[in-house]
Structure 1
Amino acid sequence: MMNNLFSIFDPSTNLFNISFNWLSTILGLMFMPYYFWLLPNRFIFLWNFIINKLHNEFKNLLNINKNMGSTFIFISLFLFILFNNFLGIFPYIFTSTSHLTLTLSISLTIWLSFMFFGWINNTQNMFSHLIPQGTPWILMPFMVMIETISNIIRPGTLAIRLTANMIAGHLLMTLLGNTGPNFSTMLIFILIIIQILLLILETAVSIIQSYVIAVLSTLYSSEVN
């Protein structure tokens, strides 16, 4: 019996006091069969199409003409989050992206990397971002404070955005699912339809949130170049 409603998101499954729920973060490798690396097929054509589209999108956001391999950092981030979001939709699979342990680790690592790179290599450019162009001199101290705070909270907003969106849909589906035994036969059919619609919505949210996190990370990266 659940102690509280949010206990369904706890990584409680363990063996010998070792939590195996987090193994779901690498289950995305199961979507890549061995022949993906050996033989041309529809799967690899689809994979290359998605990667090329993402590469062109992130390249335009980064506004770079060289070091094109840097876009694959964000492509990998997108695919990693996408796989974990999708896996969380399946029953009895732990949703790792619904925990700040994973999302905050990713966003904080990326943000610290950008900050160290920017302040070490482009110090003057980083200072220029603290004061928007055309700001009156009397507002400059306030703008520096506001921009500094908004920059500091970026990893938190990235992590909470992904976590909250993943928890919200799963929580709603759990709430509706737990009320099923109390319904009549007709209401159960309506509940099943609602659950299917919510599942489609969760699938869309999984894709959208993965794309949003990757795009925001790309925009943050473009500011330090």
Structure 2
Amino acid sequence: MMTSLFSVFEPSSSIMNLPLNWLSTFLGFLFVPYILWASPSRWSLLWSKINSALHNEFMTILNTKQKMNTIIFISLFSFILFNNSLGLLPYVFTSSSHLAMTLALSFPLWLTFMLYGWINHTNHMFAHLIPQGTPAILMPFMVLIETISNTIRPLTLAVRLAANMMAGHLLLTLLGQTGPSLGSFMIMLLLLAQILLLILESAVAMIQSYVFAVLSTLFSSEIN
């Protein structure tokens, strides 16, 4: 029995204080037939086309022709989409709806970009704090605003992904709890609404993984 509405997102299933819900992050490997790793299939060809399209887009954002630069962002997109999609299954813990998961993805990326930029492109990083054409009297304020903007980037990335995944699940939970008190006709309408919301959540799962990867790529492109 849930102690609160948000308890559905708590990793409470455990054995000897070992939280088992986080194992859902690796649960998807059980659904992938081993033959897909050895021989091409329709799903693998479709996934290859998606990766190729993402690769071309990320190369355009990064303004580079080196193919290795996009691997981390394509892998990030695949990992987040993988976990978001698993969270749509019944009784599967959605790890991407927790800040512990999303911050663990966004903060190391942001910190790595910042360290690389300040060490290797120091003048460019200083110049980026003041937009071109800023009046001299506004320069201190622009430096402060840009510094705060750069500092909160990992938090905004993490909160955006977690909040979007949590909001849809909460709405589905709220609607589902009203079912026992409804009549037959209203239950049919409720089922239709739940199906439409599940389709919307599937789209959100794909869009949010794409947004997270693209924003990470944009942050990386600014340090070069």
Q: TM-score category by the smaller chain? A: over 0.9
Q: How does 1:11-26 map to 2 (within 5 A)?
A: 11-26=11-26
What residue is the counterpart of 1:61 in the other structure? 61
Matched, 1:155 2:147: no
Give the 4+ runs in structure 1 shifted more than 6 A.
Answer: none
Cα offsets for 1:195-224 (capped at 9, x unmatched): 000000000000000000000000000011
Supply the distance in 1 between the matched residues of 2:140 and 2:211 (Cα, whole angstroms): 31
Q: How does 1:166-177 map to 2 (within 5 A)?
A: 166-177=165-176
Unaligned runs of 5+ residues in structure 2 are: none
- Cα offset, 1:132, TM superposition: 0.4
Amino acid in the other structure paired with 2:29: L
The farther-off stretch of 124-133 and 143-152 is: 124-133
Amino acid in the other structure paired with 2:140: P
TM-score (ref. length: structure 1): 0.97
Supply the distance in 2 between the matched residues of 1:163 and 1:147 (Cα, whole angstroms): 24
TM-score (ref. length: structure 2): 0.97
What residue is the counterpart of 2:85 in the other structure? 86
Supply the distance in 2 between the matched residues of 1:123 and 1:33 (Cα, whole angstroms): 48
Supply the distance in 2 between the matched residues of 1:119 and 1:49 (Cα, whole angstroms): 36
Task: Give RMSD over aligned pairs.
Answer: 1.0
Matched, 1:33 2:54: no
What residue is the counterpart of 2:71 in the other structure? 72
Counterpart of 2:125 in 1: which secondary structure?
helix
Give yes or no for contact 1:81–1:210 (8 Å, CA) kept in 2.
yes
Supply the distance in 1 between the matched residues of 2:112 and 2:205 (Cα, whole angstroms): 25
Amino acid in the other structure paired with 1:193: L
Supply the distance in 2 between the matched residues of 1:135 and 1:29 (Cα, whole angstroms): 52
- Cα offset, 1:32, TM superposition: 3.4
Counterpart of 1:197 in 2: which secondary structure?
helix
- How many residues are paired up? 224
The farther-off stretch of 170-179 and 27-36 is: 27-36
Counterpart of 2:134 in 1: which secondary structure?
coil
Amino acid in the other structure paired with 2:214: V
Give yes or no for contact 1:28–1:80 (8 Å, CA) kept in 2.
no
Supply the distance in 2 between the matched residues of 1:78 and 1:126 (Cα, whole angstroms): 27
Supply the distance in 2 between the matched residues of 1:120 and 1:30 (Cα, whole angstroms): 42
Matched, 1:145 2:137: no
Matched, 1:194 2:193: yes
- Cα offset, 1:26, TM superposition: 1.4
Counterpart of 2:91 in 1: which secondary structure?
coil
- Cα offset, 1:176, TM superposition: 0.4
- Cα offset, 1:31, TM superposition: 4.5
Matched, 1:120 2:119: yes
Counterpart of 1:198 in 2: which secondary structure?
helix
What residue is the counterpart of 1:223 in the other structure? 222
Cα offsets for 1:116-159 (capped at 9, x unmatched): 11111111111111000111111000000000000000000000
Give yes or no for contact 1:13–1:20 (8 Å, CA) kept in 2.
yes
- Cα offset, 1:70, TM superposition: 1.2
Supply the distance in 1 between the matched residues of 2:101 and 2:152 (Cα, whole angstroms): 17
Unaligned runs of 5+ residues in structure 1 are: none
